[in-house]
Amino acid sequence: MTFPAWPKDEPVTDPPVAVFDSGLGGLSVVGELRRLLPHETIVYFGDTARVPYGTKSPETVARFAREILAFLMRWEPKCVVAACNTVSAVALPGIVSAQAIPVIGMVRPSAEAAIEALDQLGGKMVAVIATTATVASNAYQQALGRLDRQVIAVQKACPLLVPLVEEGRDADDPLVALAVAQYLEPLIRWQPDVLLMACTHYPLIRPAIARCLGPKVTLVDSAAATARKVASVLTERNALSTAGTNGKLLCYVSDNPQRFQSLGTRFLGEPIPSVVRVRPNEFESIPYENAPKRMAAG
């Protein structure tokens, strides 16, 4: 089996930041990362053959996450970002401790950002919207409670929002407005100070969510919060790439690279240069020696 390697004319001289998601959504985190840390090379894996994760059981999501992590570790990354709220909520606690490098999820950074927003507002009420699996895990309520015992959190699963965004529908689409209104109505009656968008897809329909909530509720975006955490972890470890190095983005997907490339541009905010398909059943069987190696500088 030939492994889809880095393009030969694009040597990677620095340890990359590895990022993964169930599909396209994690590109919203990559977009934030590339704005904050433009010199980092990023290897992205989107599990487009098995998306969505948000309707699957924790056991299944954990198995997928382990397989992807093993695949990404072949690049000897400086850190791994689980750019999927569902993975972060249901699978990450069991995986992180086994890794020698930082594995950064979305729950803790997003909960911290929500608490920070509450502190600035002098409020205590936060509403969390997420996938069904994330809500069922209670990970956000637990993380918020650990950070501030006085915080009162409610959560609401919004399962229709991911497929609507995946279909390319944007914030001005009437179906998006309808679904958002139905999901948010009970939360608005509860009068939260902050609404935490705890799903990778929601930043793409942020204007629809903001319109429905009105000006009194502050929106917190889990993608931006996670990217800020990655920047602070790399800074603390003195592991930031410097100007002049790499800054490349290479994307792997488990299905339909063309669809990923065309729809992904909306999530990323820039064209996606290169997408390579690798099937899930190839993850385990790819010998380490055949994985793309970082090439020596120069």
Residue 96 token pair: 């992180």
Q: Residue 190's closest CA among 135, 107, 129? A: 129
Task: Find the shortest distance in angstroms from Cβ 200 to ligand DGL.
Answer: 4
For ligand DGL, give the closer residue by CB, 6 or 53: 53
- Could you tell me which stretch among 37-45, 110-118, 193-201, 212-220 binds ligand DGL (CB under 6 A)? 193-201
For ligand DGL, give the closer residue by CB, 51 or 125: 51
Respond yes or no: is residue 212 known to be catalytic: no
- Encoded one letter per residue, x for contact with ligand DGL by CB under 6 A and - for no contact, window 5-44 reads ----------------xx--x-------------------
Task: Find the shortest distance in angstroms from Cβ 84 to ligand DGL.
Answer: 4
Which entry of 158, 199, 212, 251 is annotated as an active-site residue?
199
- Could you tell me which stretch among 37-45, 82-90, 135-143, 274-282 binds ligand DGL (CB under 6 A)? 82-90
Task: Find the shortest distance in angstroms from Cβ 245 to ligand DGL.
Answer: 29
Cis peptide bond prior to 93, omega within 30° of 0:
no
Confirm or reject binding of residue 155 to ligand DGL (CB under 6 A).
Answer: no
Confirm or reject binding of residue 86 to ligand DGL (CB under 6 A).
Answer: yes
Residue 204 makes CB contacts below 8 A (sequence gap 6+) with 28, 165, 170, 171, 266, 267
- Could you tell me which stretch among 143-151, 195-203, 229-237, 242-250 binds ligand DGL (CB under 6 A)? 195-203
For ligand DGL, give the closer residue by CB, 12 or 220: 220
Residue 69 token pair: 């992590």
Confirm or reject binding of residue 84 to ligand DGL (CB under 6 A).
Answer: yes
Confirm or reject binding of residue 53 to ligand DGL (CB under 6 A).
Answer: yes
Confirm or reject binding of residue 67 to ligand DGL (CB under 6 A).
Answer: no
Neighbours of 167 (CB within 10 A): 11
Confirm or reject binding of residue 137 to ligand DGL (CB under 6 A).
Answer: no
| DSSP class per residue in the chain | ----PPPTTS---SPPEEEEESSSTTHHHHHHHHHH-TT--EEEEE-TTT---TTS-HHHHHHHHHHHHHHHGGG--SEEEE--HHHHHHTTHHHHTT-SS-EE-SHHHHHHHHHHHHHHHT--EEEEEE-HHHHHHTHHHHHHHHH-TT-EEEEEE-TTHHHHHHTT--TT-HHHHHHHHHHHHHHHHT--SEEEE-STTGGGGHHHHHHHH-TTSEEEEHHHHHHHHHHHHHHHTT-PPPTTS---EEEEESS-HHHHHHHHHHHHSS----EEE--GGGTTTS-GGGSPPPPPP-
Respond yes or no: is residue 79 known to be catalytic: no
Task: Find the shortest distance in angstroms from Cβ 215 to ligand DGL.
Answer: 26
Confirm or reject binding of residue 131 to ligand DGL (CB under 6 A).
Answer: yes
- Could you tell me which stretch among 81-89, 175-183, 253-261, 266-274 binds ligand DGL (CB under 6 A)? 81-89
- Could you tell me which stretch among 4-12, 51-59, 143-151, 263-271 binds ligand DGL (CB under 6 A)? 51-59
Residues carrying an active site annotation = 84, 199
List residues near ligand DGL by CB under 6 A. Answer: 21-22, 25, 51-54, 84-86, 131, 134, 162, 199-201
